[in-house]
Every structure is written in structure tokens, then in C-alpha cells.
Amino acid sequence: MTAILPKLRTPQDLRGLSIGQLLTLAGEIRAAITGQIANSGGHLAPNLGVVELTIALHYVFDFGHDRLLFDVGHQCYPHKLLTGRLPLLSKLRTREGMAGFPEPRESPFDLFAVGHAGTGISTAVGVARGDALNKEGFDPRTNPTGRRVVTLIGDASIVNGVAMEGLNNAGTLKRQFLVVLNDNGMSISKPQGALSHYFDKLRLSHAYADFKKSAKEALKGLPGGEKLREAYHKLGEAGKAVTNETAWFEHFGLVTVGPIDGHDLPRLIEYLREARDFDRPMVLHVHTVKGKGYEFAEEDSTRFHSPPAFRVDGGLEQGCRVELKSEGRSFTAAFADAMIDVMERDAKVVTCTAAMPDGTGLNKVMPRFPERSWDVGICESHALDMMAGLAKTGWKPFFAVYSTFLQRAFDQAFQEASLQGLPVRLCLDRAGLVGGDGAVHHGFCDIALLRTLPGAVVTAAIDEPSLRGALEFMRGYDAGLSAVRYPRDTVSDRVPAGCPPFVLGKARFLGGSLPEDPLRDAGAAAPDVAILAFGTLAITALEAAAGVPEARVAVYDARFAKPVDLDLIRELLTRHVPVITIEDHSVVGGFGAAMVDAAQEMGLDTSRITRLGLPDRWVYQDSRSRQLAEVGLDASGIAGAIRTAIAPREIATAAMNPRIS
């Protein structure tokens, strides 16, 4: 049989296929996605779960004209394959290939670059209002050819506060607006909170199967808006008893239908055809299985949410043992072990995460300390406020969160933590460039955000011993908010074992081309250049220094971006040593900016300071190593900066000592 997927150029091609061919296509999409992720890594289980749903949406709606907006964008792979991007799949999550999230630069079918949960409903409300103002919105009576709006929300992001705000406003729309709730009973890991348990109860009720039959009959053959509304109300109290969540969504003013089977393609098409012409906001509750189609992904959808490359013994179809590719010990694993150690030594330490126990390493911590650790679901703002409440009552809270997701809780870091002088501790995983997840997940602005908060302390780890040192420092820091940042990377053993204790606002000499810190001895010759690196790029700086043997380079682990080491910067600049600051963070408002600010406040000349960091532009998906090279933060780029920094001194020396020919 000839494959269907390679022949698809646009979603229009779907409409010439039979239901049987659509089911065949679903299998081909699953095989293509799974085969590629086995080679390269990527988001697997979430995409396997929405294949039939995505096919049905594109079969019923015309998203070249209508609007489709994603919420958690990691469910977009089937959508991308149906919109002509199969040729990009082989280079998934690289610059030359397909981004792992919706990406408007790739296709007009992607309206927003999406990587944070809860946003889909609100942006869809804005698009719906904009189309209405432009006289382009669908209305079954006055503009039947207008644009319809659909938003797909799932992976438990419905519990996010932004989603709640969006639902609240969506209910005020006076037009067609469809929210497809992809309820797979999972977030990245098992979802948390009362609402998720509510949906669990609904899915497990005996009424679920009965409703699928009764609702199909009640809605069967109805052409659209008015009839669908009548059918909904005719279900009466019996119907509402079956669809328990209807009462909940109706508080927001949205009619709700479901749950329906998200893998029953013919039934999905029937329901979507009815919903397509409905003239008021509606929620279609769809129940799917995360990881659908492959037993290993269904049984361990958390592990296969976003796995690295993997191999299945016996092949994907009948394999029974899966081996994930390992690239070494990660900072996440190092953090988990360090956090366990801290909690064993201090009974007042508590910790939480926001739907990321696996991603942050707390999945290893939580079974050991079930009474002192929590997963609050996709609710970063709540998590930080809860940590502030714990700090207020005398506990020592550590909030493990990706740097990019901390942005969702900055207001709480300001108001409930920093303003109150409360010692909430932030553990910022995935700080800096994150590789294949790309721009939506880069942790590029946490330093700039947290530096603004009075009394806050911002530190960084360069390896596992320093991560443990930073956590121990934070455990004892009670004067206000504190944070440690570390990347999505493996830990290095480049620096000899052992880590001096962290001292507030003090850097650490690492080496370079000098065996000892030249600033310890006032009579010693100054280095040709000093590198102050914040975070793991200090390791790269050591490598770069070794590549410039003609220069005497002193490399320092800055340790703190707030407060910075004033004594060190004063000593270097008064001795006219060129200084290079390095960070895996935006140059705007980052560590280098903090160094320049401090120097200016001390009345020092800042003209010899060179700042290396992420440029003021977006860095798109690729491997982390290629991203660092692109922005000049690899060993070669840093070595080039060293040569540039010492060039003025070499020129001046040559002018004072001209060669005699």
C-alpha cells in the first residue's frame, strides 16, 4: 500500500480521504514521530496522544482561513506533519529542521510561538475579538464564510491561572469560539490539584460510556448552532448529571459537551462538525491517552514525555525493553541528590515544584520526604506564594523551577517574597540556552529580573560541588530572596574536587594560565586579562585560556551576580587589567551589566570591561553546543575575546619598546 503521509501537502488533501485512509494516516504519523524521536529526542507521549484529534480538527476546519491556537505547544507535531512539514522532521529541533513548538517563522498555520502553559484561551479570545472588529469573524447568519476560532488546551494546563482568566473572559464572547480540552489525565507527570481529581472522577464514572451513546443520539443529524443549543438544553438535568463538569464550565458561560473518546476518529469528526457552526463559546471535552499507540509510551508517559534518543529492543511495535541514551550526569540529577542531603540535615527545609518533578529532579526527593515536598501542578505563581507562606511560618522553602517558568511567578517573587523580606529560595534549572526546545524555553532573563529586587541574592553553580555549596549557602541565608541557576547540561569534573564555602558577594579564583591568584600578592605582576564568568561558562573559560598561551589569563568563578565582588573589580580596574565578563544570559541587565554598574558607582573606568553573553535577539532551536558557538560563548569565541582584550596592551607595549631594524 502506498504511504499517505508523504503525499500530503496541505490539510485540504485530507478531505479527499476516506475514514479508513484517515486511520491509516494516523498510524503513519505515529510511526514517523516515534521513529524520529528515537533518533533525536523530542516530545513523544503528548504528540502520540493527539493524532486522531489533530486529524479530525484539520478535516473539519480550514485552518488556512480559520484560526487554530495551541496552548502547551509540545502537542503540535501531528499538526506540523499535516501542514506540509514532513521534510523538516528529519532535523527535528535543529536550526535546519522543524521546531519542537509552534513556530510562525515555519508556517502561516502556526499563529504564535508557544511554550508556556495556559496562554491558548486568552490569545484565542483576542484573535476572536480582533476578527469580529475586522468584520471577519464567523457568524452563521450574517457572515457564514467568516473565520472560526479553535484553541487546543491540554496536558493539565486547564488548571493554570492564566487559563482560568481566559475562560472567564471567553464566556463573554457573542460569537463562535471552541475550546478543545484534551484531557489525558496527565500533565508532564501526574497532574495535581482538586480540578484534576475532578476530571479523574468524571472519566472513571459509569456514566461516561452511557453519555457517549446518548450524546451521539441527541446531537445526531443536527446542522449547527441553534439546533445544537436546543439539543444541549433538551438533555436537561439528566444530561447535566452525566456531564458533571458542565456545571463547572457553565460558571464561565461556556456550553460544554463531553467527555468523548479522543481516539474515535469518526465520532470526533461528527462532534466537531456540529461544534463548527455553533454560535456561542463551547468547550468540547475530549479524553485521550498520552503515548497512544506504543505500549512503552502509554505505560510510562512521564518518562516518554520528552525523552532523549532511545532504543527499543525488538523494534518499536513489539519491543519490551527501552533504553534511553545517556550523555552523563545532569545538573538535574546532581540537584536531586544535593537537595536530599540538605533535607536530611535540616528538618526545616521544604521544597516544591510546579508540575515538573521529573524535570527538576524532585521526583527523587518527594518519596523520601512526602510531608515536606509538593507538586502543585502547572501553577508557578501559586507555588511561589505558597513558599512565601511557608517562609513566614518559619520553614526554609526551596522552589525548584525552570528559569523560563519563573517568569510566570515574578510578581510573587516581588510582592510576597522580596517585599516582605522572606527567605524564599529559588532553584533555577534550565538557566541559559536550552538546546532543542529553543527560544520559548531559554532561561535568558532571570538575572535581570531578580537583580531588581532589593535584598535578593543571585548565585550560580559551575559543577556539582559548587551546586551543593550554593544550596548550603542559601539554606543559611535568611535576609531575603535567594536563587541559584544551573543549565540543562551535564556536570563537569574539570575543576578539582572540593569547593570552598560560598561567601556572600565573593568570587573564587579558578586558574587559567596562572597557577595562583595574582591579586593575592600586591607586588605580583597583574594578569594580561581577567575573566569573571558567572556559571558553567567558567569551565569553558578555562579551556579558552589554555588556547591563548601567549597571554597571562586569570579566570574567576564570579559566583554572585548580586551582590558582585566589589573588591575584585576594584583591584582589577585600578591595576588597569582588561576584564571580560561571561554569562549564559542576556547581556541586557545581566551579570556583566551588574559589574559595569558596580564599577561606575565606585568611579572606576569601565572602558576595559568586555561583556560576553546572549545577544539582544532570539536564539532559535539547535543543540546547546551549536547555540553557544553561534553567540560566541564557546571556547573559540571566548579565546577570540581574550586576544581582542589584550591587543591594546600589546600595541601600547610595542609603542614604548620599538624594534630596531
Which residues are known to be catalytic?
A: 290, 380, 408
- Residue 461, C-beta contacts closer than 8 angstroms, at least 6 positions apart: 331, 467, 469, 470, 484, 485, 486, 535, 536
Dig out the grid coordinates for 503 from the structure. Answer: 561567601
3-state secondary structure 187-246: CCCCCCCHHHHHHHHHHHCCHHHHHHHHHHHHHCCCCCHHHHHHHHHHCHHHHHHHCHHH
Cα–Cα distance between 248 and 253 in angstroms, integer?
10
SS3 415: helix
CB 222 within 8 A of CB 274: yes
Cα–Cα distance between 587 and 580 in angstroms, integer?
12
CB 616 within 8 A of CB 524: no
Cα–Cα distance between 458 and 478 in angstroms, integer?
14
CB 128 within 8 A of CB 212: no
User: Which residue type does 496 have?
Assistant: P
CA 105 to chain CA centroid, Å, is 19
Dig out the grid coordinates for 456 from the structure. Answer: 535578593
DSSP state letters, 533-563 = EESTHHHHHHHHHHT-TTS-EEEEE--EEES
Cα–Cα distance between 434 and 442 in angstroms, integer?
5
Q: Where are the beta strands (DSSP E) in 471-539?
A: 482-485, 508-512, 529-534
CB 301 within 8 A of CB 309: no
Angle between helices 225-234 and 207-219 (to 10 degrees): 140
Cα–Cα distance between 442 and 459 in angstroms, integer?
18
